[in-house]
Structures are given as structure tokens and as C-alpha cells.
Amino acid sequence: MDVVNQQLQSLSWSDAAYLAPEWILIACAVLLVILDLVLPRNVNRAVIGWFTLAGLLTSLGFVVWRLIDMNSSAPVMGEDGKAASNVISLLADSYRIDDFASLFKIVFLIATALIVLMSLGSVKSSDIPDKGEFYYLLLPAVVGAMIMASSGDMLTLYIGLELLSITTYVLVGIRKHAVVSAEAAFKYVVTGGISSALVLFGMSYLYGITGATNLGAIAHGIQQHASDYKEMLYVAFFFLLAGLGIKIAAAPFHVWAPDVYQGAPSPITAFLAVVSKGAAFAIVFRIIYNVIFYASSADAPITDDIFLTLLIMAAAAMLIGSAAALRQHNVKRLLALSGVANAGYLLVPVGLALGDMHVSNFGEFIFYLAVYLLMTIGALAVVTVISKAAGHDELEGFAGLYYRAPWTAIAMTVFVLSLAGLPITGGFFGKLFILLGAAQTKTYWIIAVMVISSVISYFFYFGFIRQMFMRSTSEEQVHIPFTTGIVIWLCVAATVALGIVPGPVLSWVNDNFSIVSDLFVGKR
């Protein structure tokens, strides 16, 4: 009862101030709902989009300010011998503000801001009747992702997961008149429900074994009972990995992704590919590194088995995603399967066990996630423009693009090269850092899988280049809205910058991030 009472303690005003980024988005969403109701129907709903963008940027400013303030304070030495950030713990460690959460929140907010900016030029009332809903529903979705990143308790993790899931169900099916959108929404609701059920089932086993929902308390309980409940621990972790594997769209749990990505509006496809996937990875990191280390016993090497399972999932995602994309001619389905392969790349740092020679797992992961954000949103912004010009989402719509819109073709070439992992792009160094991390742990078989997957991906990524530069031009003129053009070139500039000077970004993350303080719950 003491633990329950402690977790139900009230939130003081000073504590609530730490949640300013979340409060801003919630307040903005409520105000925009009211604004959408009172505005006359003949008023362009783009004004709601601009207010949504302002709310996201304001929230981002608070997150960045808090991150800088925490890392400029006098350092506290962590158990790993590195300078540890000052961690703000709320509600008995149920909600944490640390470098881990802040970096994820920055990724989520930047991604959503770019998606909103892209939408302001590309989303028309003829495509989406309820444009106001389209914009302000993104705010609770990103709040759900932020809750998932900051949670130190299974209850708050699940609340964040469901908030993100329910809002994205609506957003996927928001094109009410489109049959393909309704079909995508139905499939996403079904698979999302299965995912949530699997995650909840796995969590219930952990609660049954330890009698706790806090991740730190669960780790302590597992240390005491791992040898007594090893079969139940295997069941718990494998159900959690299966449920989160659906959210990540990692093979073999990826079959929903091509249909949903194709049927959803392109901005929502980008949101699912970056924010929803990243939020699920935040849960994987929290649970794996808080709990798994304490799950092994003399007769049950659970820790090694779970890390091996993660690497097997990574290998399957890379190979299956890349191979399946070879047969795709629909661009959004192709990028969905590319996202499956990239989920595999992102799983590799998670699955590499920490050791004396390798402690930069999170730095490698967050660097590649940032690069994946830029190249995916940039590529989908180009796809949105080309699809409107061609009237379809097929790869043939890119035919002769260099002769119709040379700068757009060059921008798409940068994104394709980055997705393929070629110099001088951020994607090259993102994959290189992960490869070097795998080499440090002597996990050579996953390096081989990464190389094979990358080589396979060249065939379908270079299909874009073949269409843009080596096919006869079509009649359609390409019109690029101003805001969409801003998104495309911001992503190009950042992708190239991370490909030229990647070191400072990775070094800053590794210097300031501490596994013990910023990731472990209740282990400071």
C-alpha cells in the first residue's frame, strides 16, 4: 500500500512546471478544437495548422531549454564513471525528465513540426474534408509519444501508448471519402488493438511476478525472483517484444505497414514512420535496459536470449523489408518496406549488449533516428508533390523529373542516397556507427546481414534515380508549395550536414548521456 500511495501522490505546482512542453500541447489542442468549432465554414482551416505549428515550436523550445539547463548544471558522477545529467523524477519515478526523454521529445517535436509545415502546402480540403481535425489531432498524438519517452512506470507507458494509438487510428482514416483510407484505418485499428493487447499481457506477467508497475521496482523484484519464475519471464518479454514489434513494424510483425502507409495521407504516413515508430523504440529501450539485465539466473540465461532475439528481429526486418521492396512499384508501399528495413537497423544498437568495449548504444541509435527522420519526411514531402502532379503514387510518376523539376530531383537523390547509406549523407554515417558498434561487440553475423540488406536496397532505391534521370519526361507539371519546399530543403541541408560533420552530434550525445542516470529507473 505504501508504494501505491507514493505513486498516487499529488503533483505540486513546481513539479507541474517541469511538464510545460506537454501542458502547452494539451492546452493548444483544446483551444484549437474550440477555434475550429467557432470559425465559419468558409474560413480556411490553414490558420489552425499555423497555430498547431506554433504550439509545437513553443513546446520544442521548452524541451531544448530544459535539456541545456540540465546539462549546464554541476555534473553528478554516475556509476558508469561518466558525468550524469540531473534527472527530474516526478510521481515516484513514474515520470522522468532526463536526457533520454528529452532527446526523444526533440525528435518527435521536430518531426511533427516538419509534417505540419509540409501539410500546410499539400493538404487540400478536397483531400481531407476536416482539415482542422487533421491538424489538432496531431497534438495529442505527439503528447502520447512524449509520455512514452518519459515514463518510468508501466501504467504511464501504457497510457501514452494508447493516447498515441487512438489518435493515429483517426488520422489514418480521416479521408472519409477514400475507400483505400477506410481500409487502411480498419487494418490499423485491428493490428493496433492486437499490439496493445500483447503489450498489456506481457506487462501483466511482470506485475504478477514482482507486484510492481514501476520499472525500477520491477528490476529489483526480478533480481530476487528470476530463478523462480523463469518461464513466466520468457513469456512476459516475448509478448512485449511481439506487441512492440508491431508498433515498430519490424518483421515478421510488419504486414500491416504497406497497406496502412499507402492508404493514409502522406503526412500521416510520415508521422507513423517516424514518431509512432520512435515512441515504440523508447519503450523498448526503457524496458530492455531497466529490466532485462536482472532477469538471468544460473539455469536460465534470459538476458542473453532476449538480446539475441532482438538481433534476430533486426536481421529479419532488414532482409525481409529489403527483399519485399524489390517487387514494389507503389512509392508509399516501397517506403513502408524501406521503413521495415530501417527498423531493423535501429534495432541493432538496442540488441547489442553493453560491455567494456561498447557503451555508445544509445548514441548510435539516436543519431540514426535523427537521420531517418530527415530522409523519410523529406522523401515523403517529395512524394506528396509528385503524386499530386501525376495523379497516382506509382514509381512511374517520377519519370523524367530531372527535366521537369531539376532541383526537386536533386533533393530526392540526396534522400535516396541517404536511405541507401552512401556518402556524403547522414544515412552513411548512421549505418557506419551502428556497424562499428557491432564490430566492437564482435557480433560479425549482424554486420554481414546489414551489408547484404544495404546491397539489396540499392536496387529499389536506384529505381528512383533511374526514373528521374533516365526515363522520358511526362506532361505533368510539378508545382511545389512554398511550405513543402521549405521542408524538403531543410531536410536536404540537415541530411548533408550530418553526412559532413557527424562527429560533434554523436560526441555530444555520448558525453552527456549516462546509461545509469538517464535510462535506468531507480538505479541512481
Amino acid occupying residue 17: A
**What is the arithmetic mean of pLDDT over 401-406?**
87
| pTM, to two decimals | 0.91
Residue 81 grid coordinates: 564513471
Please count the CA atoms within 13 angstroms of the CA of 158 that sit on its side-chain side: 19
- Residue 400 backbone phi and psi in degrees, to 5: 65, 20
Choose among 145, 162, 9, 159: nearest CA to 89: 9
Full 3-state SS string of 190-229: HHHHHHHHHHHHHHHHHHHHHCCCEHHHHHHHHHHHCCCC
pLDDT tens, residue by residue, 296-338: 655 567 778 888 899 999 999 999 999 999 988 889 999 999 9
**What is the arithmetic mean of pLDDT over 142-149?**
94
Choose among 467, 466, 470, 456: nearest CA to 326: 456
CA distance 190 to 186: 6
Domain boundaries, the chain: 17-519
Q: At what angle do helices 426-440 and 444-470 cross, to 10 degrees?
A: 170
Amino acid occupying residue 472: S
Q: Which residue has the cell 528470476?
A: 226
pLDDT tens, residue by residue, 25-47: 999 999 999 988 888 877 777 88
Is pLDDT above 80 for 434? Answer: yes
Q: Cβ contacts of residue 176 below 8 Å, gap of 6+?
A: 129, 182
**What is the arithmetic mean of pLDDT over 363-378?**
93
Split at pLDDT 50, 70, 90, the class of 474 is low
Q: Is 95 helix (H, G, I), strand (E, B) or coil?
A: strand
Is pLDDT above 80 for 477? Answer: no
Report the pLDDT value the prediction gives residue 125, as an integer from 0 to 100: 61
Neighbouring C-beta atoms of residue 458, cutoff 10 Å: 14
Average pLDDT over all residues of the chain: 85
CA distance 396 to 387: 10
Report the pLDDT value the prediction gives residue 239, as an integer from 0 to 100: 92
Is pLDDT above 90 for 189? Answer: yes
Are 122 and 152 a contacting pair, CB within 8 Å?
no
Report the pLDDT value the prediction gives residue 11, as an integer from 0 to 100: 60
Pairing mode of beta strands 83-84, 76-77: antiparallel
**What is the arithmetic mean of pLDDT over 96-113?**
92
What distances in angstroms separate CA 226 from CA 17, 202, 241, 290, 383, one per listed residue? 39, 15, 19, 14, 50
pLDDT tens, residue by residue, 243-291: 999 999 998 888 899 999 998 888 999 999 999 999 999 998 888 888 8
CA distance 69 to 88: 12
